[in-house]
């Protein structure tokens, strides 16, 4: 064992451990969850340490041998070595200081292990020109940006699949429903296209909110004033970091604002919440339209994925939309957490970024995987029961709505009531009683007339 000391006191640390006393204190202080800090945040912090070492050396504040040792250690960590050394909890007090120090300690000790003749300080060397208050939020944004392309691709997959279904069922009539009651007809082509448009809005929102994450406060150090960082470091650190990360980060115009205010996280979380809400509504519709198969709507046939009951033989449940619903519930909850954490920031710093990043990264990942699952295991093989849909439209008395410009609202209402009472189709009653010319009846009840605006025409008197 080795003995390490900090401002609190001394602690024994395993000789083989790359982490140090600050990491151990965090593990002991925050036994909230077994979940550790997200590996993407760790990797982003390591990238920052590497860029800082290079720029600090160029600024003349870090010796060349220390620069080389730090960069070598960072490269090894970026290759995935010693991943088990990053052990601080995901949920932690201290505004991310424990995560930052875990990385500082591991980089410093690994550099010393590789270069025993050097003494490298986690604070003075690895953390030079930095503060947790600019490195941790920058690393969190980098982690979110790393996951963002996978999320947007998943949204695009949903859109593409729905558009393909729209083309496949372009002319398939179905009964519309408002407030769970029969409404005027539409087509499944237009239904699927409407869902696609909804997710296109989500895609735009997520992309736009994601762009705000590229604005970072790196170089602002403790509160955004840049104390202990050189002007050279402030001017060049993002150039080096962008060269290594390819994330196109840029410095905030006001580093003090960017250090203390977390509204960009609320905006990004809000975009994901809107996506979650739409996914949940869509999943509700899938479950309802696929309900049955005998005593439900049964307009859609959802692919059977697994047996649905331990007691009822042959029962199959809509398990894929159900799991998407649950992901949506979780993401909406995460958004509430992010909102409250951003609001709770005080003065020059928000101390609650650890829980924000934990939930934002989880939401990104859950949404991406939920949409991939939805496409792969449900949407691609979903089919429409076209014959049943056509029969339902034929039987639906509400199709008489197209008659109101010709018969008037009250006369059409009476016709609908009669059709329901006699269990006859409105079209059949019209033809039997010759209320309108037969050719006009056929035209009015054609798919084009039932699902599109009518052409202006003078009111026809009853025959």
pLDDT (0 to 100) of residue 10: 92
One of 98, 280, 291, 309 is an active-site residue; which one?
309
DSSP E strands: which ranges in 19-99? none
pLDDT digits (tens, 9 = 90+) for 106-147: 999 999 999 999 999 999 999 999 999 999 999 999 999 999
pLDDT at 454 over 80: no
pLDDT digits (tens, 9 = 90+) for 371-388: 999 999 999 999 999 999
With a CB cutoff of 8 Å and minimum separation 6, the contacts of 84 are none
- Distance (Å) of CA 335 to CA 89, 325, 331, 363, 364: 21, 15, 6, 9, 11
SS3 call for 299: coil
Which run of H or E residues covers position 185?
strand 181-187
Residue 32 Cα to chain centre, angstroms: 25
Helix ranges restricted to H, 227-292: 231-245, 255-260, 263-289
Neighbours of 7 (CB within 10 A): 4
Please name the residue that has the structure tokens 């050394």: 85
pLDDT digits (tens, 9 = 90+) for 381-424: 999 999 999 988 888 888 888 888 998 999 889 888 888 888 88
pLDDT at 320 over 60: yes
pLDDT band, residue 463 (cuts 50/70/90)? very low
pLDDT (0 to 100) of residue 458: 47
Neighbours of 264 (CB within 10 A): 22
SS3 call for 349: strand
Reduced DSSP (H G I as helix, E B as strand, rest coil) percent helix, strand, coil of the chain, to 5: 60, 10, 30
Q: How far apart, in whole angstroms, are the C-alpha atoms of residue 431 and residue 411?
A: 16
Q: How far apart, in whole angstroms, are the C-alpha atoms of residue 353 and residue 91?
A: 9
Domains (ranges, CATH) in the chain?
2-128 (1.10.275.10), 136-212+253-387 (1.20.200.10), 396-451 (1.10.40)
Q: What is the largest CA-CA distance in the chain?
A: 106
pLDDT digits (tens, 9 = 90+) for 86-112: 999 999 999 999 999 999 999 999 999
Percent of the chain past pLDDT 90, that is, above it, reads 80
pLDDT at 425 over 80: yes
Q: How many DSSP H helices and E strands does the chain contain?
A: 17, 8
DSSP 174: E
Straight-line distance from the first to the last Cα atom of the chain, in angstroms, rounded to the nearest whole number: 102
Q: Which of the residue ranges 195-199, 352-356, 431-435 would you say has the lowest mean pLDDT?
A: 431-435
| Whether the bond into 410 is cis, omega within 30 of 0 | no
173, β-bridge pairs: 187
Nearest to 267 by CA among 212, 314, 214, 229: 212
Percent of the chain past pLDDT 70, that is, above it, reads 98
pLDDT band, residue 431 (cuts 50/70/90)? confident
Q: Is 309 a catalytic residue?
A: yes
pLDDT (0 to 100) of residue 457: 55
SS3 call for 181: strand
DSSP 307: B
pLDDT (0 to 100) of residue 451: 85
Mean pLDDT of all residues belonging to the chain: 94
Q: How far apart, in whole angstroms, are the C-alpha atoms of residue 315 and residue 332?
A: 31
Q: How far apart, in whole angstroms, are the C-alpha atoms of residue 422 and residue 417?
A: 9
pLDDT at 75 over 80: yes
With a CB cutoff of 8 Å and minimum separation 6, the contacts of 24 are 11, 13
Over residues 44-65, mean pLDDT: 98
Q: Look up the pTM and report it.
A: 0.93
Over residues 301-310, mean pLDDT: 90
Q: Which two tokens stand for residue 462?
A: 């009853």
Q: Which two tokens stand for residue 285?
A: 């519709």
Over residues 428-456, mean pLDDT: 84
Q: Which two tokens stand for residue 115?
A: 């270069």
Q: Which two tokens stand for residue 70?
A: 């730090």
Which run of H or E residues covers position 53?
helix 39-58
Over residues 23-34, mean pLDDT: 95
pLDDT at 460 over 70: no
């Amino acid at each position: 064992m080795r003995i390490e000391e900090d401002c609190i006191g001394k602690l024994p640390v395993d000789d083989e451990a790359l982490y140090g006393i600050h990491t151990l204190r965090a593990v002991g202080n925050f036994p909230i969850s077994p979940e550790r800090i997200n590996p993407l945040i760790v990797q982003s912090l390591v990238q920052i340490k590497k860029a800082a070492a290079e720029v600090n050396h160029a600024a003349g504040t870090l010796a060349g041998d220390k620069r080389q040792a730090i960069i070598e250690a960072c490269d090894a960590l970026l290759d995935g070595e010693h991943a088990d050394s990053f052990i601080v909890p995901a949920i932690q007090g201290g505004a991310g200081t424990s995560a930052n120090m875990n990385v500082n300690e591991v980089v410093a000790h690994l550099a010393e292990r590789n270069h025993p003749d050097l003494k490298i300080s986690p604070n003075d060397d690895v953390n030079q020109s930095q503060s947790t208050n600019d490195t941790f939020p920058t690393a969190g944004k980098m982690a979110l940006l790393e996951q963002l392309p996978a999320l947007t691709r998943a949204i695009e997959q949903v859109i593409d699949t729905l558009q393909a279904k729209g083309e496949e069922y372009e002319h398939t009539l179905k009964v519309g429903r408002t407030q769970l009651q029969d409404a005027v007809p539409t087509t499944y082509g237009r239904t699927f296209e409407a869902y696609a448009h909804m997710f296109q809005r989500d895609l735009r929102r997520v992309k736009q909110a994601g762009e705000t994450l590229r604005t970072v406060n790196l170089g602002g150090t403790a509160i955004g004033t840049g104390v202990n960082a050189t002007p050279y470091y402030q001017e060049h650190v993002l150039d080096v970091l962008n060269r290594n990360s390819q994330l196109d980060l840029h410095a905030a115009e006001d580093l003090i604002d960017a250090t203390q205010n977390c509204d960009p996280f609320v905006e990004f979380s809000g975009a994901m919440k809107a996506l979650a809400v739409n996914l949940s509504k869509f999943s509700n519709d899938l479950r309802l339209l696929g309900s049955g198969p005998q005593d439900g709507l049964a307009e859609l046939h959802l692919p059977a994925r697994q047996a649905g009951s331990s007691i009822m033989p042959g029962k199959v449940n809509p398990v894929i939309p159900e799991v998407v619903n649950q992901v949506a519930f979780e993401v909406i909850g995460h958004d509430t957490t992010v909102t409250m954490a951003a609001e709770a920031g005080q003065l020059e710093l928000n101390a609650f970024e650890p829980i924000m990043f934990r939930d934002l990264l989880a939401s990104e990942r859950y949404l991406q995987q939920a949409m991939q699952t939805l496409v792969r295991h449900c949407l691609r093989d979903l089919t429409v029961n076209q014959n049943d849909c056509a029969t339902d439209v034929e039987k639906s008395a509400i199709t008489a709505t197209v008659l109101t410009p010709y018969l008037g609202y009250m006369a059409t209402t009476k016709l609908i009531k009669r059709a329901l009472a006699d269990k006859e189709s409105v079209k059949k009653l019209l033809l039997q009683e010759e209320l309108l010319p037969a050719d006009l009846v056929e035209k009015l009840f054609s798919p084009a007339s039932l699902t599109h605006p009518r052409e202006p025409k003078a009111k026809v008197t009853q025959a």
